[in-house]
Structure 1
Amino acid sequence: MAELTYHPAHPPIAVRSVEARIIGLDATWLRTRWKILGAGRLVVPPFAGRGRADGLWQTTCFEMFLRADEGAGYVELNLSPSERWNVYDFTGRREGMAERPMPREPDCTMRIGTDMAIFDAAIPVTGLPKAPWRYGLAAVIEEQGGHKSYWARAHMSDAPDFHDPACFVDEVAAPSDT
């Protein structure tokens, strides 16, 4: 698991850590996992059923950014514990945003205990650019009282910005055929 750090201008209240990683990639699914420790005050959006939605980042939301090559374009995935989701294409940093067609909906599951929460997502690979990718995993965490913290592998500016190329710090190879 890769340790995410909170943006220093937006520290959490009770959340102690957020970790994220890709847990599987094959010809059909990209599987990701986020683990939150200190989840006792976590705000989880209510179940809404699968479907596209905008503005998911306004409460607890898990995000992935991936770029298939060294070009300026990239894909943003927003995944909510409510089971709502969206996927966007960008032609450049925060430029040219358009919904990306998805042949099948992602599958999202949240498990919450007294201190730990796990969020798993399975994203259909046929809706994503062909791997290999440089990618970044991130999370917006809302705690009771409307308090939000912003978690990523890197924070390079005074305001949280998951679109910063410095956030694309990890790499994944194309899946094998076996």
Structure 2
Amino acid sequence: MADLTCHPAHPPAQVRSVEFRIIGFDANWLRARWKIMGSGKLVVPSFAGKGRADGLWQTTCFELFLQQPGSPAYTELNLSPSERWNVYDFSARREGMTERPMPREPECTMRLGTDMAIFDAAIPAMGLPAAPWLCGATAVIEEEGGVKSYWALCHGGEAPDFHDPTCFVEEVAAPSAA
């Protein structure tokens, strides 16, 4: 489990913490979980059904950045509580963006309580680059009134930039056998 840090230039209204963990990784699925405490004013995108979409980061969204050690290339996964998603490959920091083919769609579930929300994602492992990776786990959290906070394992600059490779700090080993 890792605590994400809110970027100081964009504080939340009520959210107190965002935690991230990989809860499973085998030859079939990468399973990840984000837990938000203080979620009483969380804006959750309406159900839109499965499918690719761009611009998911404009409201509450959960992201993973996967980079093989020693490579400038990386993969970005955008996952929304609306069940929309997208996966992009980059050749270097914010360069050479292309949509990454996926063998099937990720499965996403959002559970809301009065003060806690949990977002779970199951991503088809066959659609991901070969592990091991350096991982950047992030979240864009929108609360009522248009308040947006940007959460990551670490932040590298004065403005939030989830593509900053210095933020890809979580080491993820190759998957276990299915």
Q: Report TM bin, short chain.
A: over 0.9
Where in structure 1 are there 5+ consecutive unaligned residues? none
Report the TM-score, using the length of structure 2 for normalisation. Answer: 0.98
Report the TM-score, using the length of structure 1 for normalisation. Answer: 0.98
Q: Counterpart of 1:89?
A: 89
Inter-partner Cα distance in structure 1 for 2:140 and 2:37: 14
Q: Counterpart of 1:140?
A: 140
1:62 equivalenced with 2:53 (yes/no) = no
1:69: Cα distance to partner?
2.9
Inter-partner Cα distance in structure 1 for 2:73 and 2:139: 21
Q: Counterpart of 1:122?
A: 122
Q: Deviations over 1:45-76 (max 9, x none)?
A: 00000000000000000000001231100000
Q: Counterpart of 2:169?
A: 169
1:168: Cα distance to partner?
0.5
Q: Which amino acid aligns with 1:48?
A: A
Inter-partner Cα distance in structure 2 for 1:176 and 1:51: 28
Inter-partner Cα distance in structure 2 for 1:31 and 1:141: 20
SS at match of 1:145: helix
1:170: Cα distance to partner?
0.6
SS at match of 1:12: coil
1:21 equivalenced with 2:30 (yes/no) = no
Inter-partner Cα distance in structure 2 for 1:71 and 1:104: 26
1:177: Cα distance to partner?
2.1
Inter-partner Cα distance in structure 2 for 1:176 and 1:108: 22
1:13: Cα distance to partner?
0.5
Q: Deviations over 1:59-113 (max 9, x none)?
A: 0000000012311000000000000000000000000001000010000000000
Inter-partner Cα distance in structure 2 for 1:95 and 1:148: 26
Q: Which amino acid aligns with 1:131?
A: A
Q: Counterpart of 1:3?
A: 3
Where in structure 2 are there 5+ consecutive unaligned residues? none
Cα RMSD (Å) of the superposition?
0.7
Q: After the TM superposition, which segments of 4 or more aligned residues of structure 1 sit over 6 Å from their partners?
A: none
Q: Percent identity?
A: 75
1:150 equivalenced with 2:150 (yes/no) = yes
Inter-partner Cα distance in structure 2 for 1:154 and 1:177: 31
Q: Which amino acid aligns with 2:48?
A: A
Q: Counterpart of 1:42?
A: 42
SS at match of 1:57: helix
Q: Which amino acid aligns with 2:170?
A: D
1:21: Cα distance to partner?
1.1
SS at match of 2:75: strand
